[in-house]
């Protein structure tokens, strides 16, 4: 089926890969197209198969999942359908998770997550949305950025307009597009255009990364 979500699984444990693949095989809108057991193999796999979503384990034998995520997102950010990465981790809200989001992952899940939640997450990320929810993202990013002291100055000038800065600030505060439209008295289409421009200028793949950029700029606090 051409409209299937193409998935690849990265985990050094073959049994885990088989288990995930088997469970996902029952979903008619999801197809597992590849597997890898190391970070370097994951990079090669994405370059060859271009899956829609990559399930990435953090702890891998040659290079960790964060380094692999960064390499993949750096190489495959451009294009209409970039591979989106969900990092699988053992512990919730740890440094690995924050670093994986910084590296370009679209979200994270605990390895013990129920299979129904995993399937929902795959569909959410494949649709271009991010995990976790905006409110949870804000709390999570705020926790780690505030622990480093004053906000870090952005490494570059993103050349945002005043309106785009306003929209980015509201994204960082957890506002959805419809809420931004209501607050600013704009149409939803206009807000979507502003959000698209913010993403392009900041190099953000989705809302998670936009929130990270915003906090690094000192916005949304």
Greater model confidence, 106 or 68: 68
pLDDT above 60: residue 53: yes
Burial class for 196, CB neighbours closer than 10 Å (0-12, 13-18, 19+): exposed
- pLDDT above 70 covers a percentage of the chain that reads 83
Average pLDDT on 12-40 reads 95
The confidence score (pLDDT) of residue 163 equals 96
- Rounded distance between C-alpha atoms, residue 95 and residue 53, angstroms: 23
Q: Summarize the chain as % helix, strand, coil (round to 5).
A: 50, 15, 35
What φ, ψ does residue 192 adopt, rounded to 5°?
-60, -40
Greater model confidence, 151 or 41: 41
What would the pLDDT profile of 156-203 be if each residue is shown by its tens digit?
A: 678 999 999 999 999 888 888 999 999 999 999 999 999 999 999 988
Name residue, tokens 């899956």. 51
pLDDT above 80: residue 61: yes
What would the pLDDT profile of 98-157 be if each residue is shown by its tens digit?
A: 788 888 888 888 888 889 989 999 998 888 777 766 566 666 666 666 655 444 445 567
Mean confidence (pLDDT) of the chain: 84
CA distance to 61, 70, 101, 206, per residue, from 45 (Å): 16, 15, 21, 23
The confidence score (pLDDT) of residue 92 equals 64
The confidence score (pLDDT) of residue 156 equals 62
Domains identified in the chain and CATH numbers: 5-131 (3.40.50.2300), 138-216 (1.10.10.10)
The confidence score (pLDDT) of residue 94 equals 65
User: Rounded to two decimals, what is the model's pTM?
Assistant: 0.76
What φ, ψ does residue 60 adopt, rounded to 5°?
-125, 155
The confidence score (pLDDT) of residue 150 equals 41
């Amino acid at each position: 089926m051409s409209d299937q979500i193409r998935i690849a699984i990265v985990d050094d444990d073959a049994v885990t890969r088989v288990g995930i693949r088997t469970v996902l095989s029952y979903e008619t809108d999801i197809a597992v197209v590849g597997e890898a057991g190391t970070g370097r193999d994951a990079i090669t796999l994405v370059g060859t198969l271009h899956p829609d979503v990559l399930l990435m384990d953090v702890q891998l034998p040659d290079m960790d999942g964060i380094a692999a995520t960064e390499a993949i997102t750096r190489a495959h950010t451009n294009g209409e359908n970039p591979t989106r990465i969900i990092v699988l981790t053992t512990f919730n809200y740890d440094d690995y998770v924050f670093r994986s989001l910084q590296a370009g992952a679209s979200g994270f899940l605990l390895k013990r997550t129920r299979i129904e939640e995993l399937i929902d997450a795959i569909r959410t990320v494949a649709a271009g949305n991010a995990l976790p929810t905006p409110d949870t993202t804000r709390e999570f990013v705020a926790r780690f950025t505030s622990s480093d002291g004053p906000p870090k100055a952005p490494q570059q000038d993103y050349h945002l307009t005043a309106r785009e800065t306003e929209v980015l600030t509201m994204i960082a505060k957890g506002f959805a597009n419809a809420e931004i439209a209501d607050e600013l008295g704009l149409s939803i289409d206009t807000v979507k255009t502003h959000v698209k421009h913010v993403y392009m200028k900041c190099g953000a793949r989705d809302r998670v990364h936009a929130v990270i950029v915003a906090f690094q700029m000192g916005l949304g606090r």
